[in-house]
Every structure is written in structure tokens, then in C-alpha cells.
Amino acid sequence: MLDILNKINGFLWGAPSLILLLGTGLFFTIILKGLQFKKLGYAFKLAFTKDKEDAAADGDVSNFKALMTSLAGMIGNGNIAGVATAVTLGGPGAIFWMWIAGLLGMVTKYAEALLAQVYRVKNEKGEYSSGPMYYIERGLGKRWKPLGIAFAIFAAFAALGTGNGVQANTIADVMDNSFHVTGWVTGVLLVLLTGLIIFGGLKRISNVAGVFVPIMAILYIGGSLIIIAMNYDKIIPAFGLIFQYAFTPVSAAGGFSGAIVSQAIQHGVSKGIFSNEAGLGTIALIAGNAKTTHPVKQALVAMTGTFIVTIIVCTMTGLVLVITGFWDPSGGLLSGVTHNPNLEGGALTSAAFGSTLGVTGEYIVSVSVVFFGFSTIIGWYVYGAKCFEYLFGVKYVAIYGILYLAATYIGSIADLSVIWAFADTTNALMIIPNLIGLLLLFKVVRRETQNYFANPIEKLHIAKKA
């Protein structure tokens, strides 16, 4: 089964899918005239300052808490282990292509969040529900509902796998290796903590994320910046390697097997998408709950999440690996320090931190893996529950919560190689219905954007059908 799933994933995550994802971002960049570059400063202002009008608007959580909840799902072990994998397989140039995926993904996220606000609905509990399944069904018409159902099914399964089981497994490994806590104990603790948070509803989840995510990000980014500052003389050469090997192959040397440009592109883009989730439609599952006077405002706030995850957090990991030479077992081109060629993923990033900060650096990564993984478990529950609600109704969401907690425990004690592969498959399948909906509704995205920026005084929005 694992071999079959790996072959399917090789196709689903191959060049056609990556081109489609980048192409969608490029398309929206063109029709919105580079909005993610021109309005980035304004977007951050909306995200991190209080707006009295937005606070009084209809919705369930603030713009900031909606952003933190989405970041809880995005800032995960892909930012640590995923970047390490991209750089060791694609060379330093993979970081450049990760940036490209992030910059184009920003406007894809913008479109997803905007449509989530336009087509959101209130459920039986009086809370808003949104996501690709709603803008597909309500924006394109009832005949497209099967496509929305397909997205909801794929996303609900992906949440159990990618967002939960594999994260719990990674946490359990770190707790065992770094703190000598056995897997079943970690599993019980995760189930108790996760249950306490997710059964408190969206507001409790967003409140936890609002405190948890900033602290978690500051810890990891702070440790990265210390390492970069201690190796300040290698910063410019590191960027030189990133740009050089984005367009030229890296020769095999020492323990590095070499990488051609296509490998740098493939690993950089794929891991960039894994980290920021642009095109998966996940941001649309939470953006509709935000209090805002206009869909464009929440869309701009959502866009900043991709910048934070890819351009800031992933770049920190990539720079540390290149500066310390840990992308190459022979020490890379900036460091003569060799290391164990069997190290990979999170263990490799931990070793890179430890090479400069000693045991403290290793513990920074270990603690970050635990907190990043736990935040992902919490954030992805929201995604999976929203999809389960769409499929079966709000009164059955508690059943999904029980399944989610079971997946948390199983993930802590099981070998998840097959679940990893299955989760990769469902992640890839989420992209297809979501991008179809986005591209067919591009006129709505363009119209709402033009209306907002043409009439800055007009804050109130009345949702219109395409």
C-alpha cells in the first residue's frame, strides 16, 4: 500500500500540480496588479492594530485571532523538518523557490479568504461556517456541490493525518529522544490537552492560539537570529549560495549527492506549499469567522500569514542550515564542520542549532517541534471539524472530535509511514476542487478588491452572488 500511495503522490505532487499552484498565484497577481506587494504594509497594519469598526462587526473572532488560528495550523514541523528536507535534497537554491512559492501563495491565500467571507453562512449554533465547499456551492451553483463535498471529504481526512497523527508522532519522538518521555504517556497528555481546548469551541481555540502562537514563533525566530548574528560574516555568502544555486546545479561533493535546478525548484516549491498551505483552501475554513466590515480587510490579514510562515520562519531555518553548513554532511561551502550523514529533517535542524548554541540550541528546536506540532493539531481540528459539519451537520461535530482525539493517541504510538503517505494524497486532492473554485470565481475576487480600494470610505459590504 505504501508503494502505491508513494507512486500516486509522485504524480499528484509532480510538475503539473506545482505549475498549477504557481500559475494560480501568478494569475491572481496579474489581475490584482501585484496586490500582495503593494498592500503588504497595510495588511500588517490591519492584522496587528485594533479597529473599532471591525470589533463591532458581525463575526465570531477578531481578525487577529483568526490569523493566529490559521498560523497555528500553518506553523508546524514543516517549517523545521520540511525546510531541512528541501535544502538537503535540492541544495541552497531550494530556499529561493520556497520564497517564490510564498510570494505567489500570498495572493492565492488572499483570494481564498475573500471568498470565504463573501459566501460564509451561519450554522445552527449561530457561528459562521466557511470554506471552499461553501464558495464552490454558493458561488458556482448547486450543480457544483459534488466538488464541494469532495473537498470536505479530502480535508477531513487530511486533518486526521497531516494535521494530527503525524504531528503527534513527531512530538512523541522528540519527547522520547530529548526528554525521555515514552510515547503512550505523550499520547495521553496530548489527548487531554487537545480535548480540553477543542471541546471549548472556536473561541477557546482562537484564544489559546492568540497567546500560544506569538510566544512559539518568538522562541524559534529568536534562536535563529542569535545563530545568524553569531555568524554575521556568512550572511551575505549564504544569500549568494541561495541565489546562485537557484539557477545552477550543485555539484556532488562530500556527503551531498548533488542537485540539478529542477530538484531545487521541485523541493523548494513543494515544501513551501506544505508550510504555507496556499492553494489547499485551509485559510478559507477559518477566515469566514472573522469580524470585519469588508471581505477585503480579512483577506489582507490572511495574506500576512503566508508571509510570516514562508518568508520569515522558513527563511530562518534555511539560513541556519546554509550558514552552519548542515545542508551538506561535508560542511557545505561556508563551514568545514562535518556531521552525521544519516541526520535528516528535524534532527538535522536540531544539530545545526546545537553546532552554535550547544545543548541550548538543541533544546530550542526540541521545544519548538513540540509546540509547533501541538499548535498544528489544534489548528487543523478547526479545519476538519468545519468540513465534517458541512458533510453531516453541526450536531455531529462532536463525533469528529472523538475521532480526532483517537487519531492523536494512535499517532503518538504507531508507525505512521502509511498515514503520512495517505495524508500527502488527501492534501494534494484538496487542491483540485479548491483551485477550480478560485479560478472560476476570479471575477468576484477582482470586483470586491476594486470596490474596496476605489471607495475607501465605504466600509460596509453586502455579499453578492457571482
The residues facing 128 across adjacent strands are 122
As given in the structure block, the three cell numbers for residue 325 are 553548513
**Measured between alpha carbons, how far is 453 from 451 in angstroms, rounded to an integer?**
6
- Name the residue among 82, 94, 103, 106 with its Cα closest to residue 243: 94
Q: Is residue 463 part of a domain?
A: no
Q: How far is CA 51 from CA 45, 195, 301, 403, 445, in A?
A: 10, 32, 12, 38, 23
Q: What is the CATH number of the domain that holds 7?
A: 1.20.1740
Domain count, the chain: 1
As given in the structure block, the three cell numbers for residue 454 are 476605489
What was the pLDDT predicted at 18? 81
Q: Is residue 40 part of a domain?
A: yes
Domain encompassing residue 343 = 2-454
- Position of cell 492553494? 279
Q: Is residue 460 part of a domain?
A: no
What was the pLDDT predicted at 222? 92
Q: Is residue 459 part of a domain?
A: no
What was the pLDDT predicted at 330? 64
**Measured between alpha carbons, how far is 399 from 200 in angstroms, rounded to an integer?**
15
Q: Residues 116-127: pLDDT tens digits? A: 999 999 988 888
**Measured between alpha carbons, how far is 452 from 312 in angstroms, rounded to an integer?**
28
Q: Is residue 466 part of a domain?
A: no
Q: Is residue 437 part of a domain?
A: yes
The single-letter DSSP state of residue 119 is: T
For the chain (length 466 residues), average pLDDT per consecutive 10? Answer: 80 80 95 96 90 75 84 77 83 92 95 96 90 96 96 93 85 85 93 92 83 84 93 91 88 57 81 84 92 92 92 91 80 60 73 88 87 89 95 94 94 77 81 94 96 69 44
Q: What is the pTM of this model?
A: 0.90
Q: Is residue 429 part of a domain?
A: yes
- Dihedral angle, C-alpha 183, 186, 187, 188, nearest 10 °: 130
Q: Residues 290-327: pLDDT tens digits? A: 988 899 999 999 999 999 999 998 999 999 999 988 87
Q: Is residue 256 part of a domain?
A: yes
